[in-house]
Structure 1
Amino acid sequence: MRLTRHRRWMAPVVAAAAIGLALTACTGDIADEEAADVDCGPYEEYGTFDGAEVTIGGTILDLEADRLVESWSDFETCTGISVDYQGSSEFEAQIAVLAEGGNAPDVGIVPQPGLLQRLAVGGWLIPASEAVEANVDEWWSEDWKQYGTHDGTFYAAPLMASIKGYVWYSPADFEENGYEVPETLDELKALSEQIAADGAHKPWCVGLESGDATGWPGTDWVEDYMLRLHGADVYDQWVTHEIPFNDPQVFDAFEAVGQYLKNDKMVNGGIGDVSTQITEAFQTAGLPILDGECSLHHQASFYETFWNPEGGDENTVAPDGSVWAFLLPPVEAGGGLNVTGGGEFPVAFRDAEEVEAFRAYLSSDTWANNRVSLGGVISANKGLDPEVASSELLTQSIEILQDPETTFRFDGSDLMPGAVGADSFWKGIVAWVSGEGTQQVLNNIESSWPAS
């Protein structure tokens, strides 16, 4: 779910030459000055390979893809493994077809545990090696390990992470108008009504458009409200279908979100009326805040990247910067920290030592610190130093994920069967925002839940 720009690495002849230079660098030959500067100590445990290549696919695109590729450049130099990454916005839709046809990449970065389950059921996945599992047992919580497990078999370690419940705002706008960060959901509603009554602009700016995945930002709203209104146990029952999708508690969460997304007085600041949520890309939906045309935008921690889409730093993310964010508050002040979030899982489709060496690196604290230090993302890896993050908000996000007192729940739609979480739930949000009644939408989604 990113803007599209594909990236391919070097042609085979160039790659082979690069591998040769990399190996000499690690043995002390400084013919290539740049390679000689790499400290290969942290990579010795992965071994060295002569001419090996690992192909990898995923949904990560644009600046994030560039940073991802950079995060394993030293690993390539020191191990001799050439890593060829291709990103595609259609990865989620195509990967099962590619796997069935024997054309999947060696590694696929899967952003949904539900999709991982589907691939495991298809018999296409290679179980994770002992090295990968040992890293996960050391650096990740048991909950995160379970997201990469199916039917008792461990298939993939977590990679990056995000916290989904942030509300972005302009500190200057709040100071100028005397607005205060709300401590409860009722205070958030009162703040929204105050901004609407002031009349300068509608309080919220929202974008639900994301190609074939249009609607998913709306599911994040519902998931946040399910966790806050009804707690972790009910949330778990909902995503596992122990309670039906049209349960009254789910209805309550939709209605609470509808106070904003279905209310023309609340949305869509700087963009248009309620209907424009469906056509406004999620990547650009928060930007009216920078122009003073909107005050509030609900989106995950990864949205930090989109305040500076070209990779510059003109819009700072800080308490006194261009933008900052607070977590969607609880029902009662001091009611505990409940957050939803997401992440990715590098699954393997080819059984090879170089593939597992690469996956072991991705599951390590070394990779987590390398990637997060490049900016824009976080990880729930317990070996990650929060201070290497690219902003105060991302440092805060890492500390939230590492805090044992935090109640964390994975994105609900990502845990649900694909027919629901990546289809009827997304489509239901679109129909609902377009005017369809809450009960009818919930009934339709419930009827789409697979019988087994």
Structure 2
Amino acid sequence: MARTGAAVVAGALALTLTACGGDDDKDGDGGGGGGKKTSGSVELPKLDGQKLEVAAVWTGPEQKNFTKVLDEFEKRTGAQVSFVPTGNNTSTFLGTKIEGGAPPDVAFLPQVGVLHQFADKGWLKPLGSEAQAQLDKNFSQGWKDLGAYKGKQYGTYVKAANKSLVWYNTDAFEAAGITDTPKTWKDFVATAQTLSDAGSPAVSVGGADGWTLTDWFENIYLSQAGPEKYDQLAAHKIKWTDPSVKDALTTLAGLWGKDELLAGGRSGALRTEFPKSVTQTFSGDSPAAMVYEGDFVTANINADTKAKVGTDAKVFPFPAVGDQAPVVSGGDVAVALKDGKGAQALLTFLSSTDAAEIWAAQGGFISPNKEMDPATYKDGVTRDIAKALLAAGDDFRFDMSDQAPAAFGGTQGVGEWKDLQDFLRNPKDVAGAQKKLEADAAKAYKSS
């Protein structure tokens, strides 16, 4: 997308997030109701007695919310669907299952790079005509393209993420006398210092999960280096030793290098998994003030804290490091790993507005499905985030690590995840981090 496109999206986000900062349902259309009625609008075959298996990375509240979608599919078709969590190493888990002759029927891949790898190996089944019809009806070309490879449509991105959001504890901001949310990176670090001086752990970082650290880097890099450089680094057309990477890591070190600004310090951040990074911002005796991550944070706030989204927990766009605030998107693509009517029927349902609206009503979810009723979103904050994403059309940048081979951008304990954890441990060693990132990237891209 052109820089102007990024600016339009960032502006839309800023406006909608500001507008929904207070009452999270002031438009009166409720958390999960109102609007058009689409129940039963997608035709599904009878699958009485068939047993299907679905695999995805989700655990806790995210898994529970998705189960509501599977329950409706079972009700309509008579099939029995079991859910299998993959763990963070999705590609390794699924690869082992496939090579062992026992793949799940349907899987959600969190990295587009994994879709390409699996398609190259012949492990994916193309979308059937019914699923394709739902995809064509409900999704823009940009999202369709992400689920395609070498001219064949393999998957549908039914779950999207806006990964350019910072969530904050309104009590902590009020106690520190902060009335305006930061718009620039300089202001963000200054706000963190003010919060710390007032006695709040300023920023909660889920460093035990390396993927959260890649998201920090990507937002800074996109804003500071710009979309063209972002695309080049995502494709490894420039090296991680490039000066633009040095600039981004140096910027990131301006926060990570200040131990007092991180909840628990760097060592505490490295022991904190993503769900805890959220809950320790909105619960406990000394909650943190801010946590960075995507819209899906609301699932953890709603399930594991007493905070109310839009009142106790508010959100602002990731601050601008360069000329424009960044807009990074992610998502999970549903694919079939087995032939058969059951797998294709589930993909058809997942691609429908029916499934999207059931999922949206649970919270912690946004959809790129442009035909679904936005009134079904559980809260106004999420609804406005989703509207801004749709307003972007095809003008978005997809998560960089998710575009990389899994060995570099999508595996716990190795590659970019591990290298950025090491950088969080020692933010002074920018050159060393660049060297390790480039060595791991070169190896992964060469073998992919």
Category of TM-score, reference length = shorter chain: 0.7 to 0.9
Say which one has the larger Rg.
1
Structure 2 CA distance for partners of 1:140 and 1:61, relative to 1, 3 Å: same
Paired residues of 2:143 and 2:394 also in contact (CA < 8 A) = no
Paired residues of 1:160 and 1:378 also in contact (CA < 8 A) = yes
Paired residues of 2:172 and 2:200 also in contact (CA < 8 A) = no
| In 2, Cα distance between equivalents of 1:155 and 1:367 | 19
Could you tell me how far 1:289 is from its partner in structure 2?
3.1
1:71-104 CA distances to partner (integer Å, 9 max, x unpaired)? 1323322223332222242544310111122211
Could you tell me how far 1:218 is from its partner in structure 2?
1.0
Could you tell me how far 1:279 is from its partner in structure 2?
1.0
Structure 2 CA distance for partners of 1:433 and 1:404, relative to 1, 3 Å: closer
| In 2, Cα distance between equivalents of 1:332 and 1:230 | 7
Amino acid at match of 1:82: Q
Q: Give the 3-state SS of the residue equivalent to 2:249 in structure 1.
A: helix
| Match of residue 366 from structure 2 | 378
| Match of residue 100 from structure 1 | 99
Q: Give the 3-state SS of the residue equivalent to 1:414 in structure 2.
A: helix
| In 2, Cα distance between equivalents of 1:203 and 1:343 | 28
| In 2, Cα distance between equivalents of 1:385 and 1:142 | 20
Structure 2 CA distance for partners of 1:400 and 1:411, relative to 1, 3 Å: same
Q: Give the 3-state SS of the residue equivalent to 1:301 in structure 2.
A: coil
| Match of residue 323 from structure 1 | 313
Query: Pairwise mapping of residues 80-95 of structure 1 onto structure 2 (< 5 A)?
Result: 80-89=78-87, 91-95=90-94
Structure 2 CA distance for partners of 1:296 and 1:104, relative to 1, 3 Å: same
| Match of residue 284 from structure 1 | 276
| Match of residue 264 from structure 1 | 259
Could you tell me how far 1:309 is from its partner in structure 2?
3.7
| In 2, Cα distance between equivalents of 1:96 and 1:293 | 40
| Match of residue 390 from structure 1 | 378
Alignment length (residue pairs): 400
Paired residues of 2:139 and 2:368 also in contact (CA < 8 A) = yes
| In 2, Cα distance between equivalents of 1:222 and 1:284 | 20
Q: Give the 3-state SS of the residue equivalent to 2:267 in structure 1.
A: helix
Amino acid at match of 2:52: V
| In 2, Cα distance between equivalents of 1:131 and 1:149 | 16
| In 1, Cα distance between equivalents of 2:223 and 2:421 | 23
Percent of residue pairs bearing the same amino acid type: 27
Q: Does 1:400 align with 2:388?
A: yes
Q: Give the 3-state SS of the residue equivalent to 1:376 in structure 2.
A: coil
Could you tell me how far 1:299 is from its partner in structure 2?
1.6
Paired residues of 1:40 and 1:78 also in contact (CA < 8 A) = no
| Match of residue 138 from structure 2 | 139
The partner residue of 1:302 within 296, 306, 311 is 296
Q: Does 1:343 align with 2:334?
A: no
Amino acid at match of 1:59: V
**Structure 2 unaligned blocks of 5 or more:** 1-37
Q: Does 1:430 align with 2:425?
A: no
1:340-389 CA distances to partner (integer Å, 9 max, x unpaired)? 12211111111112221110110111211111112221111111222211
What CA RMSD, in Å, does the superposition of the two structures yield over aligned residues?
A: 2.3
The partner residue of 2:436 within 414, 419, 444 is 444
| Match of residue 404 from structure 2 | 416
Which has the bigger relative contact order, CA under 8 A and spacing at least 6?
2
| In 2, Cα distance between equivalents of 1:282 and 1:60 | 12
Could you tell me how far 1:160 is from its partner in structure 2?
1.0
| Match of residue 69 from structure 2 | 71
Could you tell me how far 1:293 is from its partner in structure 2?
4.2
Comparing 55-64 with 364-373, greater Cα deviation is found at 55-64
Paired residues of 1:378 and 1:394 also in contact (CA < 8 A) = yes
| In 2, Cα distance between equivalents of 1:91 and 1:428 | 19
1:407-441 CA distances to partner (integer Å, 9 max, x unpaired)? 42221111111121123100101111122611111
Amino acid at match of 1:276: G
The partner residue of 1:366 within 343, 349, 354 is 354
| Match of residue 29 from structure 1 | none
| Match of residue 191 from structure 1 | 191
| Match of residue 248 from structure 2 | 253
Amino acid at match of 2:211: W
Could you tell me how far 1:111 is from its partner in structure 2?
1.3
Structure 2 CA distance for partners of 1:240 and 1:317, relative to 1, 3 Å: same
Structure 2 CA distance for partners of 1:317 and 1:237, relative to 1, 3 Å: same
| In 2, Cα distance between equivalents of 1:416 and 1:279 | 25
| In 2, Cα distance between equivalents of 1:305 and 1:103 | 31
| In 2, Cα distance between equivalents of 1:384 and 1:416 | 30
TM-score of the aligned structures, taking structure 1 as reference length: 0.83
Q: Give the 3-state SS of the residue equivalent to 1:57 in structure 2.
A: strand
**Structure 1 unaligned blocks of 5 or more:** 1-38
